Amino acid sequence: MEGLWACKGGWGDIDISPDATLAVVAEAHGGNCAGSGSAATLIDISDKRHPRTAAAIDLDDQIEYVHTVTLDNHLLYLNPQVWAGYPQQHTHVAIYDVTNPTAPVRKGFVEFPGGAAAHDTYVDHRPDGKSLMYSASIHTTDVFDVTDPLQSTFLQRIVSPEMTVSHAAQPTTSAT
């Protein structure tokens, strides 16, 4: 072990920046790493021996629960996993700019149609210049064009009768 960032709360998924200088922890399941009422915690891991809390993103009237996080370069997607076990008023994924990890800025939302919302997301930057977000939305898989994340476009919903819970969604290596 090189270093330790201690959290006594129950936290959810973790995502790490490509340059391994920033980690983001979803504070799902009643976590309280940064204090009660936090949605996610940003951790500066540039010094592996001494990771430290950079900032916390709090829950509010637009973000009621965060199950997982997706870090895509300087954009952070907070995935709420809306389903009967976690009923929420809002069915959207919050987008934050984390260019400065000590001061994350909410930029907007990816809005989901029909009451679904992401358990987990994956952003695919395609060779044709488009960026697609694949969302495992519990009983469906949703695809959005997030080339301009603040003007996202819902493209399709994939429903498979054999699938009861979609936990993750990624395209094939050929992007088909």
Q: Is residue 7 assigned to a domain?
A: no
Q: Is residue 28 assigned to a domain?
A: yes
β partners of residue 95 = 77, 108
For every residue of 35-62, DSSP letters joined together read: -TTEEEEEEE-SSTTS-EEEEEEE--SS
Task: Give me the domain span that covers residue 93.
Answer: 14-158
Q: In this predicted model, what pLDDT tens digit does every residue of 31-82 receive, in sequence order?
A: 566 666 788 999 999 999 999 999 999 888 888 778 889 999 999 999 887 6
Number of domains comprising the chain:
1
CATH number for the domain that contains residue 63? 2.130.10.10
C-beta separation of 79 from 70 below 8 A: yes
Q: Is residue 175 assigned to a domain?
A: no
Q: In this predicted model, what pLDDT tens digit does every residue of 85-111 receive, in sequence order?
A: 655 666 789 999 999 999 999 999 998
Element (H, E) at 96: strand 92-97
- pTM greater than 0.85: yes
Q: Is residue 3 assigned to a domain?
A: no
Q: Is residue 5 assigned to a domain?
A: no
